[in-house]
Amino acid sequence: MRPTVHDIAAEAGVSLATVDRVLNNRPGVRTVTRHKVERAIATLGYVRDVAAANLAKGRSYPLVFILPAGENSFMRGLEAEVRAAMARSAAERTDITILSVPAFDAPALAAALMEARERRPAGVAVVAVEAPEVTEAVKRLREDRIAVVTLVSDLPGSGRDHFAGVDNIAAGRTAGSLMGRFIGGREGAVAVVAGSMLVRDHRDRLEGFRAVMTEDFAGRCILPVIEGQDNPTLVEKLVGALLERQPDLAGIYSLGAGNRGLVAALEKAGREKTICAIAHELTPHSRAALVSGTIDALLNQNAGHEVRSAIRVLKAKADGLPVISAQERIRIDIFLKDNLPLEQA
């Protein structure tokens, strides 16, 4: 049987309370006593039973998630994952509140952060928009010792505790690499459609994509970025116009959302087979387009992983515990029609 606090108390010749004190390094133990206990811990090879500890503590973690509103399928999927986490909250001892704000709206986001602050949660997870007022709000939360994790889109320089999302520069590079190889020797320019240059993730993807195209596919012309605000209607209009003025277009990299518009424009123009399209995020629409062949490859960040990671990190930070960063790294998935996970998964 593995050793318990009782065993180490006996071995060290002290009481349970003392053992508990050194285990949770609380004050009020003489150095000699502490050493005795530590030695007992070492010789017996004691490892604390976290489940039992949590049971005894009865601690719970009030958390706030701030997510963008709107039709964006990825964000709705993200919200669904947060709600799934709420359903598990009994078992995970969390108490989660969701706050919804308009997309790409820095003042509204800053206001939501202040609202979150008033709830005095243990931690806040936020899909960030890069703006001074948002940075400022995050700093205020940190001053109140509220843990902050940026989700999906980061906010460097804000002092947030952690970023739960993918390396978007690498994502852009990956898209560039696939695009260059898939197009191969064919002629024609490549277009880039983004949502907004106000969010860090989109800027990073663009940077990565351009870097690879310059390094490895130097002859290829990259057209100026189109900003579609992650809005399918707008994206469709802009891409439609693009297709008209670029009869020789070889590829489109859609690094934001609104892919329904992209797909519609390509199919209306009858160019879905000749243009290599690479987009982000696996949603019901993008999935269908991948299967049909309109989209050639999809880069994805697993929203479920991101939410669960954010919660783990928030809890750890709230307890002042270190985070095993290797374990919290979110991978960039590449999906072709052949390695698509089953529906619903």
Tell which positions 281-310 bind a copy of itself, by CB under 8 A.
Answer: 296
Task: Tell me whether residue 185 or residue 224 sits nearer to a copy of itself (CB atom).
Answer: 185
CB 82 within 8 A of CB 67: yes
106 DSSP 8-state letter: H
Rg over alpha carbons for the chain, rounded to the nearest Å, is 25
In the complex, the residues that contact DNA under the rule CB under 7 A are: 1-2, 4-6, 13-18, 20-21, 23-24, 27-30, 32-34, 46-49, 52-53, 55-59
Burial state string for 66-87 with b = 16 or more CB within 10 A and e = fewer than 16: bbbebebbbbbbbbebbeebbe
Residue 276: left (phi > 0), alpha (psi -120 to 50), or beta? beta
Please report how close the Cβ of residue 48 comes to a copy of itself at its closest, in angstroms: 9
Q: What sections of 129-167 are H helices per DSSP?
A: 132-143
7 lies in the site for a copy of itself, by CB under 8 A: no
Please report how close the Cβ of residue 136 comes to a copy of itself at its closest, in angstroms: 31
Task: Tell me whether residue 68 or residue 176 sits nearer to a copy of itself (CB atom).
Answer: 176
Chosen residue from 23, 140, 182, 269 binding a copy of itself by CB under 8 A = 182
Please report how close the Cβ of residue 116 comes to DNA at its closest, in angstroms: 25
d(CA 266, CA 271): 5
Task: Tell me whether residue 139 or residue 337 sits nearer to a copy of itself (CB atom).
Answer: 337
For residue 125, the surrounding DSSP H or E stretch is strand 123-126
Q: Which positions touch a copy of itself (CB under 8 A)?
A: 2, 47, 49-52, 54-55, 90-91, 170-171, 173-174, 176-178, 181-182, 184-185, 208, 212, 296, 326, 329, 331-334, 336-339, 341-342, 344-345
